[in-house]
């Protein structure tokens, strides 16, 4: 059964859903981090991420991990997920960035290091167009050759918040999807971290 649309067939994704996956252009966050996403946050890719974030579809992480792994810098030594806020993790029962980092780690053999702890809660995409808010604190030093892992990049301010907490060894950021549009109120709700 297709993980995105539910149609019966062979393989985890049907042909139509596979063909809707669009390569996302690289982007640079305001703090200067190269952020590379496997797909544009549209169609099938958006559905897969949404189900991972809000419906516990952890198997979707493995469906996206191969495309993510191919974008890793050659000098990557560790994968460092950006944790979801504690209240959202409790509410939805899953931390999508950790699931994605573990899936990429299984494919590549790279270790996953939990270097950041989340704040209790923060507004979705708070501070869009403003400076990054403080969302993370470090619970151990960020190791050398670290690539940050998260589900969706929109403004890049979540990535930059981690950089501000401890960015000395971060060589890039790896995402499942990149959202290109200005977020409207509905998206801000449904796609918030």
Q: Which residues bind Zn ion (CB under 5 A)?
A: 2, 4-5, 14, 17
* Residue 178: CB minimum distance to Zn ion, A: 21
User: Is 2 or 171 the residue whose CB approaches Zn ion more closely?
Assistant: 2
Q: Report the relative pairing of strands 170-178 and 146-153 from DSSP bridges.
A: parallel
Report the 10 Å Cβ neighbour count for 60.
Answer: 27
Give the contacts of 32 (CB within 8 A, at least 6 positions apart). Answer: none
Q: Which is nearer to Zn ion, 4 or 146 (CB)?
A: 4
Q: Compute the least distance from the CB of residue 2 to Zn ion, in Å.
A: 3
Minimum Å distance from CB 22 to Zn ion? Answer: 15
Closer CB to Zn ion, 5 or 165, in the complex:
5
7 vs 134, beta carbon nearer Zn ion: 7
Structure tokens at 27: 């982007």
Task: With CA atoms as reference, report the closest residue to 54 among 110, 19, 96, 83.
Answer: 96
Q: Smallest gap, in angstroms, from Cβ of residue 44 to Zn ion?
A: 7
Which residue, 45 or 112, has its beta carbon nearer to Zn ion?
A: 45
3-state secondary structure 13-57: CCHHHHHCCCCCCCEECCCCCEEEEEEECCHHHHHHHHHHHHCCC
Give the nearest distance from C-beta 93 to Zn ion in angstroms: 25
Distance between CA atoms of 133 and 122, rounded to whole angstroms? 9
Element (H, E) at 172: strand 170-178
Beta strand 34-40 pairing with 116-118: unpaired
Q: Cβ 155 to Zn ion, closest distance in Å?
A: 30
Given the complex with Zn ion, which of 17 and 163 has the nearer CB atom?
17
């Amino acid at each position: 059964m297709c993980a995105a649309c539910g149609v019966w067939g062979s393989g985890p994704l049907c042909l139509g859903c596979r063909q809707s996956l669009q390569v996302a252009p690289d982007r640079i966050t305001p703090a200067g981090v190269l952020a590379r996403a496997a797909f544009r946050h549209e169609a099938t890719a958006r559905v897969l991420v949404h189900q991972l974030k809000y419906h516990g579809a952890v198997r979707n992480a493995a469906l996206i991990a191969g495309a993510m792994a191919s974008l890793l810098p050659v000098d990557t030594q560790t994968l460092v997920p950006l944790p979801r806020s504690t209240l959202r993790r409790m509410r939805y029962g899953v931390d999508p960035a950790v699931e994605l980092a573990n899936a990429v780690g299984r494919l590549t053999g790279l270790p996953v290091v939990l270097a950041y702890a989340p704040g209790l809660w923060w507004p979705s995409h708070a501070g869009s167009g403003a400076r990054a808010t403080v969302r993370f604190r470090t619970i151990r030093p960020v190791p050398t050759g670290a690539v940050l892992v998260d589900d969706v990049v929109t403004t890049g301010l979540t990535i930059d918040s981690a950089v501000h907490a401890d960015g000395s060894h971060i060589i890039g950021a790896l995402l499942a999807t990149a959202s290109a549009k200005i977020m409207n109120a509905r998206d801000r709700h449904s796609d918030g971290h």
